[in-house]
Amino acid sequence: MVAGVKTLPEAFEYLMELCRQKEAVRGRKVIAAPGLETGQFSRLETLCRDRGFTLIERGLRDHLEGIDIGFTIADYGIAETGTLVLNSSSEEVRLATMISEIHVAVLAVSRIRETSYDLESELKRFMQSPADYTAFITGASRTADIERVLALGVHGPLELHILLLEDS
């Protein structure tokens, strides 16, 4: 799913509506949003509290049994393949992209490159920090066994929502 948003608060409202519609994993609705700036997290925390959702930014390993939605901000996108690129030294950010049922990623339009080759200088810059982890995410998790039986969500989220953020 790809949708456009004009502001980050609009992305938060999209997230709130998506969470409202979703059936809870373990009786309560949990959103993981690590890696946000303090002010951004505070604003999202208020929205979640007002709607009765649980918001976490740390300790995702303690919630492996059920995170409804992981929310991240992508570093770059590759138009040719519809791929998100996330670079982070935080295990929490990596977990939010992998263990939630739904992953919602915000991507600034100015950060979209046509091909992976157009991202070469940014990737080289990422590699200057050896502790960082760069993930390329292209769609929801899917795999097939030797009998060609397709399974969704085995190695990651069942759904991926990309919110294209207009540049100001």
Is the pLDDT at 120 greater than 80, yes or no?
Answer: yes
User: Which range has the worst mean pLDDT, 3-17, 33-47, 91-105?
Assistant: 91-105
For residues 15-39, average pLDDT:
87
User: For residue 120, what is the domain's CATH number?
Assistant: 3.40.50.10420
Is the pLDDT at 152 greater than 60, yes or no?
Answer: no
User: What single-letter amino acid sits at 110?
Assistant: S
- Range among 56-65, 88-97, 157-166 rated most confident: 157-166
Confidence band of 95 (pLDDT split at 50, 70, 90): confident
Cα(10)–Cα(146) distance, integer angstroms: 43
Which tokens sit at 147?
Answer: 């009998």
Which tokens sit at 131?
Answer: 């502790």
Confidence band of 76 (pLDDT split at 50, 70, 90): very high
Which tokens sit at 168?
Answer: 């100001």
Helices (H), the chain: 8-21, 38-51, 91-98, 120-126
Give how many domains the chain has, as a whole number: 1
Is the pLDDT at 85 greater than 70, yes or no?
Answer: yes
Is the pLDDT at 10 greater than 80, yes or no?
Answer: yes
> Strand pairing of 30-32 and 54-56?
parallel
CB 61 within 8 A of CB 35: no
For residues 69-90, average pLDDT:
91
Residues spanned by the domain of 79: 2-165
Is the pLDDT at 24 greater than 70, yes or no?
Answer: yes
